[in-house]
Amino acid sequence: VGKVVLGFLLLYFGFGDTVPIGPRSLEAVVLVALAIPFGTLVLTFPLTERLLAPIVERVSLAAIGRRIEIPGRGLSLRGRLVAFALTFALGPTLYLSSVAYMNDARAAQRDLEHRAQLAAAGVALGNRGAARAVDGWAFTFDAGAANLQGAEAVRALGERPALARAFERAAAASPRGAVSHPRDGVVAFRTHGDRRIGIVIPGAPQVTSGTVLLILLFLAIIAGFGPLSAMFIAGSTAVPMARVSEALARVGDGEVETAPLVPVFHQDEVGVLAKKYNAMLDQLREISRRANEVARGALDVELGVPGELGDAFRAQLASLRDIVGHIARSAAQLAGAAGELYAAAQEQEQTAHQQSVGIEEVSRTMASLLVAATHVTESTTGVLIRAERTRETTTHTAERITELSAHTGRIGEILEIIREIADRSDLLALNASLEGTRAGEAGRGFALIAGEMRKLAERVTASVEDIKELVGDVRASVSATVIATEESSKLADGTAESAANINLVTQQQRSGTEQAGQSIRDVVSMITQSLAATQEIRTLAEALKAQADNLTGLVARFRLPEQRPERRPEAGA
């Protein structure tokens, strides 16, 4: 819509008055039609460029920020400059050409009207050939453009109704005048007396060939010289720009050392750009070299590049020095700690191994102790059983001995009775012996028998005494046996109780030994696990120490400023 409005504005201001466009005005229309887009581009480009610039900038920055590459390839700078040149040259040129063309056409139309009026005046004065002199036909008419006379003219107007209608309106409005039509031609009329005379000249006014040639020549010059000039200008600008662009592309690809310097041909913006590029390339090369030196471990380099990049590099270098220093100290501490850890782990492993051996020995001892405790438990159980039997036997023996003691007591009583009987027998025998003796010879045999009886009684008494002595010995033995049996019973009780206690203790000991054995086995398992863990720790400590040594070696590749060798004063200095 804007373009259409602008086109009308251009037409309006470009063509000051209304110009009838005839067949010969087609070229002008074409020129204007061509001028409109060019002129529109010329007029709207700064505006659209200015309006779209912030949007394009934001879009471009957003795409860069999001790492989005805008697809497609635009025109080269040279193409753009040629397009700009053609646009800026052809637009006004076409417009001015169309204006000139149209002005020339308008002038031709006025000339034709003037010739038609002169011919009408000539016809009114009686010059019949005046109409043919201007390639027209004369005619007469009445008021109101009626009753036209003149066959050729009537036929010409009849064939051109638009021109005829314009003529009728003009003739009705004015006694003299001229009307024209871009395609049909010109009608001039005037009143001469009571007659009204008109001249019709069919055909459109003609633009002069000089104008056409001039326009064509000018267009050819503009169309040829403009791009050439644009190409020249673009060449003088785009070539350094292209070289800078190519060099920047190589810099962008990381080829800082191989990126070429750009020669400076002019001291214009491109030259300044080239200078800045060269300066930037120098700084990048210095930064690259310093970075390579840093990569080789030289942290004592100094960078003379000013600006944020240099400051960032120096800050990074300072941070790297600090980090490397810290890493070096940490690596040294880590190596020391790893060594101590390795030694401690090794010592702990040896200790754990010794503990394992000792605990295994203890475990075997505990196993033997468990077997021994089992045997002891079985033995104490047997002892307990035998002690119980011994106590029962002792009790039985004590009962038997008590019975024996009672029997011996009874034997003593019986012996006492026997002794009394023997004693009485002895007395009876003695008295019988006495009686026999008193009886004289008659009692001699009786006395002898009494004596034998007394001897027998004496022997009985002696035997009784012996038996009593033996019984006394037996009773003493029995008493001693009873005492011994009581002692034995007490001992058996004590033995049984002790055996029971021993059995209980040995069972507890066996249980404790089993628990201790289990605990020892658990300890063995734990020590084995601890040994494995210690071995793993030792392996890890060894690996850590190796890593620490490796780290120390890696850090040693960096040369810090305090490690920089002192520069010897130059000779003669």
* Of residues 236-265, those binding other proteins (CB under 8 A): none
Select 216 or 427, whichever has its Cβ closest to other proteins: 427
* Of residues 292-311, those binding other proteins (CB under 8 A): none
Select 30 or 427, whichever has its Cβ closest to other proteins: 427
- How far apart are CB 474 and other proteins at their closest, in Å? 25
Number of chain residues interacting with other proteins (CB under 8 A): 16
Q: Can you tell me the distance from the alpha carbon of 29 to that of 21, in angstroms, rounded to the nearest whole number?
A: 9
* Of residues 133-192, those binding other proteins (CB under 8 A): none
- How far apart are CB 441 and other proteins at their closest, in Å? 11
- How far apart are CB 462 and other proteins at their closest, in Å? 11
Q: What single-letter amino acid sits at 516? A: A
- How far apart are CB 398 and other proteins at their closest, in Å? 38
Write the CB contacts of 499 (distance below 8 Å, at least 6 apart in sequence). Answer: 380, 383, 384, 387
Please check whether residue 32 is in contact with residue 19, taking contact to mean a CB–CB distance below 8 angstroms: no
Q: Can you tell me the distance from the alpha carbon of 490 to that of 387, in angstroms, rounded to the nearest whole number?
A: 11
| Beta-carbon-side half-sphere exposure of residue 175 (alpha carbons within 13 Å) | 7
Q: Can you tell me the distance from the alpha carbon of 265 to that of 268, in angstroms, rounded to the nearest whole number?
A: 9
Please check whether residue 239 is in contact with residue 79, taking contact to mean a CB–CB distance below 8 angstroms: no
Select 51 or 448, whichever has its Cβ closest to other proteins: 448
- How far apart are CB 437 and other proteins at their closest, in Å? 4
Helices and strands, counts by H and E, the chain: 10, 5
Task: State both tokens at 506.
Answer: 């040995």
Please check whether residue 318 is in contact with residue 300, taking contact to mean a CB–CB distance below 8 angstroms: no
What does the per-residue mask of binding to other proteins show for 86-105, with x meaning CB under 8 A?
Answer: --------------------
Select 274 or 450, whichever has its Cβ closest to other proteins: 450
Select 329 or 455, whichever has its Cβ closest to other proteins: 455
Give φ, ψ of 416 to 5 degrees: -60, -40
Q: Does 542 bind other proteins (CB under 8 A)?
A: no
Select 64 or 462, whichever has its Cβ closest to other proteins: 462
Eight-class DSSP state of 306: -
Please check whether residue 553 is in contact with residue 291, taking contact to mean a CB–CB distance below 8 angstroms: no
* Of residues 208-237, those binding other proteins (CB under 8 A): none
- How far apart are CB 427 and other proteins at their closest, in Å? 5
- How far apart are CB 442 and other proteins at their closest, in Å? 14
Q: Tokens 């050439």 map to which residue?
A: 228
Select 425 or 530, whichever has its Cβ closest to other proteins: 425
What does the per-residue mask of binding to other proteins show for 452-481, with x meaning CB under 8 A?
Answer: --xx--------------------------
Select 299 or 432, whichever has its Cβ closest to other proteins: 432
Q: Residue 196: is it exposed, middle or buried by C-beta count within 10 angstroms (0-12/13-18/19+)?
A: buried
Q: Indicate the length of the chain as a whole number.
A: 573
* Of residues 417-456, those binding other proteins (CB under 8 A): 423-424, 427, 429-431, 433-434, 436-438, 447, 450-451, 454-455
Select 34 or 429, whichever has its Cβ closest to other proteins: 429
Q: Can you tell me the distance from the alpha carbon of 117 to that of 131, in angstroms, rounded to the nearest whole number?
A: 10
Instruction: Measure the CA dihedral 462/466/471/477, to 10°.
Output: 160
- How far apart are CB 459 and other proteins at their closest, in Å? 13
* C-alpha distance from residue 372 to each of 76, 387, 508 (Å): 105, 21, 13
- How far apart are CB 416 and other proteins at their closest, in Å? 13
Write out the residues near other proteins by the rule CB under 8 A.
Answer: 423-424, 427, 429-431, 433-434, 436-438, 447, 450-451, 454-455
